[in-house]
Structure 1
Amino acid sequence: MLLEPIITSLLETDMYKFSMGQCIYHQFSDYKTTWSFKCRNTDVHFTHEMVEEIKEQIKAYCGLRFTEEELEYLHKIKWMKGSYVDFLRLWQPRYEDYEITEDADCGLTIETFGTWLNTSLYEIPTLAIVNEVYFHMAYHYDELLASFEKKLDEKITLLKNSTYNLGLFSEFGLRRRLSAGAQELAVKKLNENKYPGSTFVGTSNVFLAKKYGITPVGTMAHEWIMCVGQGNHKHNPAYSNWYALDWWVKEYGILNGTALTDAITTDCFLRDFQLTYATLFSGVRHDSGDPFEWGEKMICHYESLGIDPKTKTLLFSDSLDFERADKIASYFAGRVKIAFGIGTYISNDTDVPALNIVMKTTKCNGMDVAKISDTPGKGMCKNPEYVEYLQRCISWRMENDR
């Protein structure tokens, strides 16, 4: 291993992995999933040396175990249950679940196979490892870090002088960070400063949230809706959101309730997000499509149900920077609660382009699964016939099921 270990704690993942993990443990422990890595950058190539380093880093990650101090921290989160924490006491990543090879495209393929309970937890650390290996080995890392620090200080100055007023915002950048050190520096500096029109409320990185005494932020991801809604062969996938929301409420009640709207389009989501769920969930998250149109749609939906939008939160998390977030906050001011989860712009803004890499669920229980988001091209499925089938199911429901 050429670099120091990149992942040094099993807490070093996004909070929603534990939120979903608890539901999976209690309700879907027998589900099996396949996950596939994809690099969307057309000009990026991973060398043989990079691939070998990624393998060694993932082996090191698979040697980690939760400490009792870490488990105690998780147990103090009000919606985390002792049964799941006890499971994590025994849990360990398995290198045998990985298949890592070289290819002629970007130079790197990664797939994981096994129980959803295991493979879900691999996604974020794997992406963090791939990022850090790439930026250490493809560039002069110290120069990148210097440009990162310079840009970070400029961002903080813009918040301090009220150039941008974001209201509540969190850091969501673990999966695409420049490095562990860069992400920690960003969280530390954002947390130690005060801003007239903005409040830094937390990070998705549970390890850093614990270290700096801030809120670990995150509820559900697309995988939850895709696997719950599409992994059962008896389910009509156009009702994926109903199944996913129903099981979430069974697990959490009114706690931990921010629903993701765009797994099979927001319009289809709203067919299931009726009075009961709209009341129980504290808000919804935007991850694709025009944020202004989406926000207007959500406000109208709440009003149509007789719910005051001012009692609900719209969490925006799609490709944000401070300028874009400021415009959204200003546009919706006084009409609804607003919050932001800002990722790469905080954790990997340097003089070179960030990687656009993802690792997505591509099969569940032997079935193809897919998302059809509000932005064309954000989905990932190896079987175009299944995507066509899913789209037909959604279209039929939107046209006939009123």
Structure 2
Amino acid sequence: MVDIATRVWNHKWKIDPIVRSLIDTDFYKLLMCQSVFRNKPDTNVTFSLINRTTSIRLADVVDEGELREQLDHIRGLSLSRGESTWMRGNTFYGKRQMFTPEFIDWFEALRLPPYHLEKRDGQYELTFEGKWPEVMLWEIPALAVIMELRSRSVLRDMGRFELQVLYARAMTKLWEKVEGLRDVQGLRLADFGTRRRHSFLWQDWCVQAMQEGLGKSFIGTSNCLIAKNRDLEAIGTNAHELPMVYSALAESDDELAQAPYEVLADWHEEHDGNLRVILPDTYGSAGFLEHAPDWLAGWTGIRIDSGDPATWAETAIRWWTERGEDPRQKLVIFSDGLDVAKIAQLQAQFNGRVRVSFGWGTLLTNDFRGLVPDDALRPFSLVCKAVSANGRPTVKLSDNPNKAMGPADEIERYKRVFGVGAQKVQPVVV
């Protein structure tokens, strides 16, 4: 097992780069990238870093030179032979050759496109522009770099023994979480913590702790590199990015209203089984489900990523029941702001009524709250989103208005088109 404190104490980034591989990313990014490569390869997009926690002035904390070094390092990465073999030959979700030879040939030749970086009002403006299949692969590594550089900045002046104690306390804190989940009946839980992790080494340690502590209740990780190295299931389906870009490309309000379903029609052609999971909240779950075509009710399940999770799980159960589906056969994946108490509560409430699963993110891989002075390692809400497609702005509404993004006039237009009424404001945990 890696001595993380010693590695931090002896840090040389060329030995310990933050992003080690193009598959040090979430599995859903690769699945979506293949879909985009097939369906929308020539779409031009812009991705941008967005710090929702503006009280953390990243440009005052993260050194610009170090940030550029790490981003330049990522631009030099390419798929290794072993990684290509894993993608070509591994079984994902029970399916061999999940990735087509054409897509992997393209991926093997890929180098990530240039970035644009500048400081503004204590924050970094970090953007990526180009063809959608290439630019989208910047999202996860860009977030991982910013998060870990912030961690390194806080830890830089700590002594060796201080670091040993810090990581001992963090390990104890995580292990207590594992122990708190051991008696949760029927638990199925995956690591979804790549994008806002404390560091790569820490995420890898968390995964190993979950493997040992939870056994079969731990079903895998979203991180492809860790899944490969630890012989785990790579977990993931699709994300808000697809409907956001498809919707921006719509030529009329009628096309806009159909765009989220066009996304899933394309997905339906490529995937089956547990990969057929609906993410309904991009423009409001209520309207999405109300207007969804009947064939979507036959999909495997739903992922709940904003709003009150219990409320939306109950909504999904009613929706399936009204369409003649048996909710007990359906999968509900909870993935927003999870920690032990909420996981246990939701499992108890819905176990036996649906097939329950959890994607545990930031509070698994980056919970150092209360462990350093001024709580300087507390997790914060950082995202990297598609902000335009072919020159048109993207919009996300969410079931939580605190997560909405896009120009104000376009937000109002989308609310009108998708029939979004009053929404309950929820705190954004991470």
Q: Identify whether the pair has TM-score above 0.5, normalized to the shorter chain.
A: yes
Aligned to 2:223: 205
Aligned to 1:149: 171
Aligned to 2:277: 258
Structure 1 residue 276 and structure 2 residue 295: aligned?
A: yes
Structure 1 residue 159 and structure 2 residue 181: aligned?
A: yes
Task: Give 1:334 shift.
Answer: 1.1
Task: Give 1:157 shift.
Answer: 2.2
SS in 2 for 1:10: coil
Q: Contact between 1:12 and 1:205, CA under 8 Å: does it hold in 2?
A: yes
> Structure 1 residues 10, 144: CA separation in 2 closer, same or farther (over 3 Å shift)?
farther
SS in 2 for 1:262: helix
The correspondence for 2:76, drawn from 54, 63, 71, is 63
State the alpha-carbon separation in 2 of the partners of residues 63 and 338 from structure 1: 40
Task: Give 1:229 shift.
Answer: 2.8
Where structure 2 has 5 or more consecutive residues not aligned to the other structure, the ranges are: 1-10, 422-430
Aligned to 1:297: 315
State the alpha-carbon separation in 1 of the partners of residues 43 and 167 from structure 2: 41
The correspondence for 2:414, drawn from 379, 382, 390, is 390
Task: Give 1:277 shift.
Answer: 1.8
SS in 1 for 2:281: coil
Task: Give 1:146 shift.
Answer: 3.6
Aligned to 1:127: 143
Aligned to 1:100: 117
More displaced, 348-357 or 367-376? 348-357
> Structure 1 residues 364, 249: CA separation in 2 closer, same or farther (over 3 Å shift)?
same
State the alpha-carbon separation in 1 of the partners of residues 415 and 336 from structure 2: 23
State the alpha-carbon separation in 2 of the partners of residues 13 and 53 from structure 1: 21
State the alpha-carbon separation in 1 of the partners of residues 295 and 273 from structure 2: 11
> Structure 1 residues 180, 303: CA separation in 2 closer, same or farther (over 3 Å shift)?
same
Task: Give 1:225 shift.
Answer: 1.1
The correspondence for 1:25, drawn from 33, 37, 46, is 37
Task: Give 1:255 shift.
Answer: 6.2
> Structure 1 residues 144, 390: CA separation in 2 closer, same or farther (over 3 Å shift)?
farther
Q: Which amino acid aligns with 1:27?
A: N
Aligned to 1:332: 350
State the alpha-carbon separation in 1 of the partners of residues 408 and 420 from structure 2: 18
Q: Which amino acid aligns with 2:116?
A: E
Q: Contact between 1:203 and 1:216, CA under 8 Å: does it hold in 2?
A: yes
SS in 2 for 1:354: coil
Aligned to 2:245: 227
State the alpha-carbon separation in 1 of the partners of residues 256 and 174 from structure 2: 43
Structure 1 residue 380 and structure 2 residue 405: aligned?
A: yes
> Structure 1 residues 323, 255: CA separation in 2 closer, same or farther (over 3 Å shift)?
closer
Which TM-score applies when normalising by structure 1? 0.92
Structure 1 residue 187 and structure 2 residue 196: aligned?
A: no
State the alpha-carbon separation in 2 of the partners of residues 171 and 54 from structure 1: 26
Aligned to 1:306: 324
Structure 1 residue 359 and structure 2 residue 384: aligned?
A: yes
Aligned to 1:239: 258
Task: Give 1:166 shift.
Answer: 6.2
Task: Give 1:345 shift.
Answer: 1.1
Q: Which amino acid aligns with 1:64?
A: L
Question: RMSD in angstroms over aligned alpha carbons?
Answer: 2.1
Which TM-score applies when normalising by structure 2? 0.86
State the alpha-carbon separation in 2 of the partners of residues 255 and 157 from structure 1: 28
More displaced, 250-259 or 63-72? 250-259
Q: Contact between 1:310 and 1:336, CA under 8 Å: does it hold in 2?
A: yes
Q: Contact between 1:286 and 1:318, CA under 8 Å: does it hold in 2?
A: yes
Per-residue CA deviations over 1:81-136 (Å, capped at 9, x if unaligned) read: 22211111111112x2x11111114x311111111111111000000000000111
State the alpha-carbon separation in 2 of the partners of residues 252 and 200 from structure 1: 24
Q: Contact between 2:222 and 2:235, CA under 8 Å: does it hold in 1?
A: yes
State the alpha-carbon separation in 2 of the partners of residues 355 and 395 from structure 1: 31
Aligned to 2:65: 52
> Structure 1 residues 48, 213: CA separation in 2 closer, same or farther (over 3 Å shift)?
closer
Task: Give 1:369 shift.
Answer: 0.9
Where in structure 1 do 4 or more consecutive aligned residues deviate above 6 Å? none
Per-residue CA deviations over 1:131-185 (Å, capped at 9, x if unaligned) read: 000111134573653432121121122233x2x4461010101111000111000
Q: Contact between 1:238 and 1:268, CA under 8 Å: does it hold in 2?
A: no
**Quick one: percent identity of the two aligned structures?**
29
State the alpha-carbon separation in 2 of the partners of residues 172 and 49 from structure 1: 24
SS in 1 for 2:171: helix
Per-residue CA deviations over 1:218-267 (Å, capped at 9, x if unaligned) read: 11010011112332335632323211111111222556211111000001
